[in-house]
Amino acid sequence: MKATAHLTRRERFAAAHHYGMPRFTKEEAERLFGTTSIHGHNYVLEATVRGPIHDETGMVENLKTIKELIRREALAGLDQSFLNESVPLFREEPPTLENISGLIWERLAPHFREAKLQRVRLFEDETLFVDRVEGERDVFLTRVYEFCASHRLHEPGLSTEKNREVFGKCNNPSGHGHNYVVEVTVAGEVDARTGTIGNLGEIDRLVNDRVIEYLDHKNLNADVAEFADLNPTAENIARVIWDRLDSGPGGARLHRVRIYETARNIADYYGPGV
């Protein structure tokens, strides 16, 4: 059996668009998208292919080929354009991240033979991106947030010596702090009318109300009820955030909570039993 690998190519493009589609009233468009004004983004596209590593070349696919395919096929009419006019699809359909990534997938996927397109990830900016994954009907939308908090890692059931052994400097009685980064990922099928899997404004409001305001600039051990009897590790913080959001944020299904305690310490939580 041949060894297989995944290979990712990243490209950038810039485009403008608006959400003032004939199907929406101005009020509905603003509720769904926040604005109907023309605006633009510096998009970042990641295309990942998977396949066997060829004995002759040591590659899954020639990166030059992937680069040319992305620029010729995926980004045709997208880069340096006004999407609502330059792309026929977006004269009728909203140019959402979900719909743009779907168009890119449809343009790219047929051109791979031995290697297959495994994932398309499209960033609108550093705090918002979508994933389309091979074999998945759902699209995954990720929003990035930040909060600052202090904590102390300590288990009352352990001895003083054992706590120091297990948690090291993180067991300092005075505690310590982090600038936490939280990724909230929701999943769902794209609504044919809105071009979205959920209302981003509602997701933002829910996360800000239930998570950021609740945890930001707090001593987690002393100020947050869930951590009165729960050690505030990155894993447990992710679990607490999940529990506070697990009500279908923005109409979508909560898929994952990821916590960056530091750039090197990252915890993912996918829900109970997963």
Query: Which residues belong to the active site?
Result: 170, 217, 261
Whether the Cβ atoms of residue 3 and residue 53 lie closer than 8 Å to each other: yes
Using alpha carbons, select from 141, 146, 147 the residue that is nearest to residue 249: 141
Cβ neighbors of 59 (< 8 A, separation 6 or more) are 7, 53
The 10 Å Cβ neighbour count of residue 258 is 19
Using alpha carbons, select from 210, 89, 189 the residue that is nearest to residue 139: 189
d(CA 207, CA 254): 12
d(CA 256, CA 186): 7
Tokens 């305690």 sit at which residue? 261
Whether the Cβ atoms of residue 139 and residue 189 lie closer than 8 Å to each other: yes
Whether the Cβ atoms of residue 10 and residue 88 lie closer than 8 Å to each other: no
Cβ neighbors of 201 (< 8 A, separation 6 or more) are 31, 32, 33, 34, 250
* Rounded-to-10 torsion of CA 8, 196, 78, 59: 10
Whether the Cβ atoms of residue 248 and residue 197 lie closer than 8 Å to each other: no
Whether the Cβ atoms of residue 37 and residue 80 lie closer than 8 Å to each other: no
